[in-house]
Structure 1
């Protein structure tokens, strides 16, 4: 009588052979992306913690936000741990290039230069946003985009919003631009009237304005854009594994559940703007 170990691969039913091959491929693919991680079994994520509600410190003193929830879900579905490291925005993408992180999760705008860059891998959209004017509610001098010409604007250092704003304004309109490491410092200067308005996205400040009636976000949103995660340039298998999940979350409603939880409103992914070229 033949033993089980003496049965040749050729004698196995086709379905069983295909199943075995599929399992082998999945194991190899899984091992590939795990081999790329900085730390065994852990995705190291760079984030600011200062861009609510994308990434923030909650009332319990814990790191929280949309990006944090997305990366925890991704790590769980990939069967690995996740470790978050906080840094000012201006240091995050350079840190990714310098192998300080596997992923940057901090509302990264998918710009033309970033999509074409060989210094990072931008994933497919996980949210749709745009740029808007944030001001003090008491400031009656700013009621639309025409009113900000010549006025001082605060922006997050290294962010993409200022280029989007500049491109949407008439030549010579943009006034003095002051850069800040994050929301806390910028909003303090707005409160103390050292700057006139904030040049930021629409969704993040809208979340904050809903909790603080001293600031207002004007409803005229310009330069529709998409945002997502950025992955280290040499981590192609990791990027592919995460992007497959982002695609799945976008299609099955998981992303909109998290977007609604953190931003208070869903987005319509059927209206995703084309990638900038």
Structure 2
């Protein structure tokens, strides 16, 4: 599971020397006020019912991808559209590769990012702000439905788990005393569990829910879920200095949580409510 996270712009105004000194001072004051308000252009567009520009991959199902008709959709995309509707603004998505997301925010190609961003590192937390989370994820253990050995994480001791050797989930499984069966990725891990060559596999909750929704007859189920303290929330990410915008995003997101929109979208894309910590 990819894990994601996110920057802004400097505006400069060039005035002709033919303008009077009073005009120059007025322009300088305006520039200073704009900088001090931190993202006032974005705030004004939101207040005036304008357009917000949102960066996303478009190649990362079920979060952001193109359906069979070619329409851009996905959980993050539809949540963003719902937020825009609550704010009374239009939204324009700008698709870009993940590696270019930060640069896109830096250069103000877009105002914010909707692409499963958690801001888990201190460096990114210092540079970016995040709205109220619209999805929560954490480690889960996936095993055959009829296997009842998973009453607690401590029960993983001595069991075989199919994991990539470079995966954080493999390290977590080893911490609980599980024996690692090396695999290349999640697809192979699931096959080994189904073939009884491994007892279980650990991965991100959202990735596993996506699999279970696509393969409801897999005879596998989530046995253990990370506690809330070990879960991370993803939200809309934008550069620091847009406090009033973040407040408006939070208000819209809270309204979508209250009216059931986030739950409805979660169940549409994951078959479960991922918008709340559990």
Q: TM-score, normalised by structure 2?
A: 0.59
**Cross-structure match for 2:105:** 96
Q: State the SS of the aligned residue for 2:113.
A: strand
In structure 1, runs of 5+ residues without a counterpart are 1-30, 138-142, 156-161, 179-185
Instruction: Return closer, same or farther for 1:88/1:199 CA change in 2, 3 Å cut-off.
Output: farther
Q: Of the candidates 262, 267, 270, which is equivalent to residue 263 of structure 1?
A: 270
Whether 1:107 aligns to 2:116 is yes
Q: Of the candidates 164, 178, 185, which is equivalent to residue 152 of structure 1?
A: 164
Residue pairs, 1:191-230, within 5 angstroms: 200-212=203-215, 218-222=222-226, 223-230=230-237
The two structures, once aligned, show a CA RMSD in angstroms of 4.3
Query: Which whole-Å deviations, capped at 9, do the CAs of 1:248-275 have from their partners, x for residues lacking one?
Result: 2223322112111221122583xx37xx
Query: Which whole-Å deviations, capped at 9, do the CAs of 1:118-162 have from their partners, x for residues lacking one?
Result: 311012221232124679x9xxxxx9965348x53577xxxxxx4
Query: Which whole-Å deviations, capped at 9, do the CAs of 1:185-210 have from their partners, x for residues lacking one?
Result: x77887999xx999752123322343
* Pairs aligned (count): 218
Q: TM-score, normalised by structure 1?
A: 0.59
**Cross-structure match for 1:10:** none
Whether 1:232 aligns to 2:236 is no
Query: Which whole-Å deviations, capped at 9, do the CAs of 1:37-80 have from their partners, x for residues lacking one?
Result: 8xx92211111223322212212222111111111111222222
Whether 1:120 aligns to 2:128 is yes
Instruction: Return closer, same or farther for 1:132/1:192 CA change in 2, 3 Å cut-off.
Output: closer
Instruction: Return closer, same or farther for 1:55/1:95 CA change in 2, 3 Å cut-off.
Output: same
Instruction: Return closer, same or farther for 1:208/1:176 CA change in 2, 3 Å cut-off.
Output: closer
